Chains A and B, each alone.
Chain A
Amino acid sequence: MVIDSQLMSFFTAGSLIVIGIFAALFLDNLIKKIIGLAFLADGVNLFIITMGYKAGGIVYILLPNMTISDFAQNASYPLPFALVLTSIVIGASTLAVMLGLVIVLNRRHGSLSASKILGEKESK
């Protein structure tokens, strides 16, 4: 059985999003929460990349021996890839900030438990 690669990619993206949301909401360990959030962002990125996929398509670079009509008919849609590139950069920045905050809070509280670190705040 041949499985459609685009469909599989959509399924993988959906799985990553669901796992990511579950981890972010229900896991107590802050590092695991952050890994879940990275899954969520990666799932969305994969979803966007999959949307830009074109079966039998060519890379969106107009080569010297190519006519504009051929290019327009066969090239993949470049916009999703450009968006994902930006999204990855943003994701890396927010991931770094989150991990930086967790390092500081781990030093202060001696724990990575979200219920202990973030729950204590309200009781003080």
Chain B
Amino acid sequence: MNELIAVMVILPIASALFLNLLHNKDRTIKILAFITAIILPVIPLIATYGAHFFGGYVPLAQNMTIGQNLPSLITGTQLFQFHPGIVYLFNSAQQLMIFILCLIAFFAIFTSINEIKRPSGVYAFLMFMGTASVSAILLSDDIFNLFVFFEIAALAQVGIIVASGIKNNYETALKYILLGNIAGPLLLLGIALLLGITGNVNITDIIFSIKNGLVDPHSPVILMALGLITFGWLYASGLPPFHTIKSAVYSKALPHGAALLQAFSVFSMVAIGIIILRIFSYLPFSKTAIIGISLLAMVLGITMAIVQTDFKRILGFLAVGELGYIGLGLGLGTAFGITAGLFQAVNEAIITAFLFIGFGTVLYKTRTSDTRKLGGMMFINPRLALLVLLAGFAMAGVPPLNAFQSKLMLIQASIQSGLPELGMIMILLSIVTFMTFMKAFYTIYMRPKPAELEVIDNKIPKSTIISMVVFLLVCIILGLFPQIATNSLQALAAGLV
């Protein structure tokens, strides 16, 4: 059922467009959004692996009925091998990542329709559009198609910030879109340079041209394209110098929105990172640059988290720091390292979503995210506090939870690659992450409740608790049986080496 590959993108877009039209029809919006959101994670599980050719345009070499009637001017060249239309590729790694993305989208939408009294069709539209865009970024083998969805994802993210109604959200949204309008055209310029030198926007064809000597692989044009595409990658993922704006974006979204936004960043980072590795990994400094940027993200993200007083900002910076681990795995460039990096991406997306929704319950009960004004939340709801604590343990890499396995794999990969220093840095920063989380947890949950703190007497919706329990179960399952994820990711990682 290869048609389902396209449905992974088309269904959320169609649903988003329809939901956008429903004003003041709260019940209909809730039912439709829930049905679409629950279908989304199922599609990647039942779709078969392979390629989807939009318009049915397979390469001429695979379509002899058309190919044999063409003049030798075409058939005698490499044009015969190239893909004339947009191609989506779907394999076990994409299956896992899109499943996790859609699972987070489902729980973000499930939580939002229960926490928000009057759910907006526009908000659901933005969430579905973002999910569709990032799914397309993961699937697309066409670099221009990736750019289109990169821009749509950025617009959806801006919309989610604007829809939050949080103080100063418009300012953050404007900052983010202004930066996006520098990064987007520069990414497009990088794509244009690749198009100019190879005549293609299909990634497989670009690689074919480079590897078969159709273009000079060390041409300065290719180097410039690498730089420009890397700049777009940094923006999409929130790596330095975009780490500050990215954490601000998370803090200006509602908790369920932030849970989804960080998943967008993680999977965009992975998708574009994979493309950079696929096209440019033969350039020795490309991997070194990825490692350098990742280290910077880890150090800046985690150290900046320490000094924050807003728990959403703390989580935002910790999430950026965790992105560095993913980048390190990709930058190591070995099959084991890349598998570890991809596994870390899957884990981070789940854990950070878990933390945003978990800490979101504090915001729901107190209407504040300022840690200086908070305290004593453990005595109000100890079970929720325990769930949040476990989410923090997962992020820090405490066994037997999932990030322990991926971080252990990353450390092993760095030692195998002859870079044990990276392993040491990862261990040190994991300890700092743990300390930062525990400091925030103590301030919000364990210290005595400040007298002026007003706790609203509203019950936490069951959907929020269910979401957290499911995230915890996923963390435990992937922690105990990491091969569920790593088996799916190994083939992709091996193909990148």
Interface residues in chain A, defined as those with a beta carbon under 8 Å from any beta carbon in chain B:
17, 20-21, 24-25, 30, 33-34, 37, 40-41, 43-44, 47-48, 51, 68-69, 72-73, 77, 79-80, 83, 86-87, 90, 93-94, 97-98, 101-102, 104-105, 108, 117-118, 120-121, 124
When C-beta atoms are compared, the residue in chain A nearest to B171 turns out to be A121
Q: Separation in Å of the B9 CB from the closest CB of chain A?
A: 16
- Knowing A40-B185, A69-B73, A121-B168, say if A83 contacts B195 (CB, 8 Å): yes
Query: Which 7 A-B pairs rank lowest in CB-CB distance, beginning with the nearest?
Result: A37-B181, A121-B171, A101-B174, A44-B185, A90-B151, A51-B196, A48-B192
**Chain B residues, CB < 8 A from A80:** 192, 195
Please determine whether B71 and A37 come into contact, CB atoms closer than 8 angstroms.
Answer: no
Please tell me if the beta carbons of B174 and A94 are within 8 angstroms of each other in the complex. Answer: no
User: Is B170 in contact with chain A by the CB < 8 A criterion?
Assistant: yes
Chain B residues contacting A118 (CB-CB under 8 Å) are 171, 174-175
Most chain B beta-carbon neighbours within 10 Å: one of A25, A43, A86? A86
CB-CB contacts of B160-174 with A at 8 A, as 1s and 0s?
Answer: 001000011011111
Q: Which residues of B contact A90 (CB under 8 A)?
A: 148, 151-152, 184
User: Nearest-CB distance from B309 to chain A (Å)?
Assistant: 13
Using CB atoms, name the residue of chain B closest to A47.
B192
The prevalent SS among residues of B at the interface is helix
Q: Is the CB of A24 within 8 A of B181?
A: yes
For the A-B complex with A20-B185, A40-B182, A83-B201 known, give 10 more contacts whose Cβ atoms are closer than 8 Å.
Answer: A17-B185, A40-B181, A44-B185, A87-B188, A90-B152, A97-B158, A101-B158, A117-B174, A118-B174, A118-B175
A5 to chain B, nearest CB (A): 17
Q: Which residue on chain B has the smallest CB distance to residue A73? A: B73
- In the complex the two chains form, is B177's CB within 8 Å of A105's CB? no
B199 an interface residue at 8 Å Cβ cutoff? yes
The minimal Cβ–Cβ distance linking B167 to chain A, given in whole angstroms, is 8
Q: Tell whether, in the assembled complex, residue A94 and residue B184 are in contact, meaning their CB atoms are under 8 Å apart.
A: yes
Give A89's nearest chain B residue, CB to CB. Answer: B148
- Number of B residues contacting the other chain (C-beta, 8 Å)? 35
Q: Which of A17, A21, A44, A69 has the most CB of B within 10 A?
A: A44
Is B283 in the interface zone, CB < 8 Å from A?
A: no
B199/A77 in contact, CB under 8 A: yes
Contact flags (1/0) for B54-92 with A, using CB distance below 8 Å?
Answer: 000000000000000011011000000000000000000
Asked if B316 is at the interface of the complex by the 8 Å CB criterion, the answer is: no
**Complex interface: chain A residues within 8 A of B172 (CB):** 121
Residue of B nearest to A39 (CB): B185
Given A51-B192, A121-B171, answer yes or no on A101-B177 (Cβ-Cβ < 8 Å): yes
Given known contacts A41-B181, A51-B195, A51-B196, A105 and B174 CB-to-CB distance under 8 angstroms? yes
Q: Report the separation of the CA atoms of residues A116 and B181 in the bound assembly, to the nearest whole angstrom.
A: 21
Main secondary structure, interface of A, reads helix
CA of A77 to CA of B70, assembled, Å: 18
In the assembled complex, the Cα of A90 lies from the Cα of B156 at a distance in Å of 13
Bound form: Cα–Cα A40–B133 in Å: 24
In the assembled complex, the CB of B157 is this many whole angstroms from the nearest CB of chain A, namely 11
Of A33, A69, A83, most B-chain CB atoms within 10 Å:
A83
Q: In chain B, what residue has the closest Cβ to A77?
A: B199
B419 within 8 A of A: no
Across the interface, do B182 and A68 meet the contact criterion of CB distance under 8 Å?
A: no
Measured CB to CB, the closest approach of chain A to B27, in angstroms, equals 30
Q: How far is the CB of B166 from chain A (nearest CB, A)?
A: 12
B60 nearest CB across to chain A (Å): 13
Sample 20 A-B pairs with CB under 8 A, ordered by A number. Answer: A24-B181, A37-B178, A40-B185, A41-B184, A44-B186, A47-B189, A48-B192, A68-B71, A72-B74, A73-B73, A77-B199, A79-B201, A83-B144, A87-B188, A90-B152, A97-B158, A98-B178, A101-B173, A117-B174, A124-B167
- Cβ contact within 8 Å between A44 and B162: no
Chain A residues whose C-beta falls within 8 Å of the C-beta of B186 in the assembled complex: 44
Q: Which residues on the B side are within 8 Å of A41 (C-beta)?
A: 181, 184-185
Given A72-B73, A94-B151, A97-B155; A124-B178 close (CB under 8 Å) = no
Q: How far is the CA of A92 from the CA of B85 in the complex (A)?
A: 25
Q: Is B180 an interface residue (CB 8 A)?
A: yes
Asked whether, in the complex, the Cβ of A101 is within 8 Å of the Cβ of B170, the reply is yes
Nearest CB of B to A15, in Å: 14
Minimum Cβ distance to chain A for residue B79 (Å): 9
Measured CB to CB, the closest approach of chain B to A118, in angstroms, equals 6
Query: In the complex, which of the residues A33, A34, A72, A77 contacts B71, with contact meaning CB atoms closer than 8 Å?
Result: A72
Contacts of B196 in A (CB 8 A): 51
CB neighbours (8 Å) of B71 from chain A are 68-69, 72
Residues A79 and B185 in contact in the complex (CB < 8 Å), given A94-B177, A118-B175, A121-B171:
no
Known: A44-B192, A83-B144. A101 touches B185 (CB 8 A): no
**What is the CB-to-nearest-CB distance from B214 to chain A, in angstroms, rounded to a whole number?**
15
Q: Chain A residues with Cβ under 8 A from B167's Cβ?
A: 124
| A97–B180 CA distance with the chains assembled, in angstroms | 12
CB of B359, distance to nearest CB on chain A (Å): 21
What A residues does B177 contact at CB under 8 A? 94, 97-98, 101
Closest to B197 in A: A51
| Minimum CB distance partner of A82 in chain B | B144
A107 to chain B: closest CB distance in Å?
Answer: 10
> How far does the Cβ of B248 sit from chain A's closest Cβ, in whole Å?
8
Judge whether A108 and B185 touch: CB under 8 Å: no
Task: Tell whether, in the assembled complex, residue B182 and residue A124 are in contact, meaning their CB atoms are under 8 Å apart.
Answer: no
Q: In the complex, which residue of chain A has the Cβ closest to the Cβ of B188?
A: A44
| B413 smallest CB distance to A (angstroms) | 37
> Are A105 and B170 in touch, CB under 8 angstroms?
yes
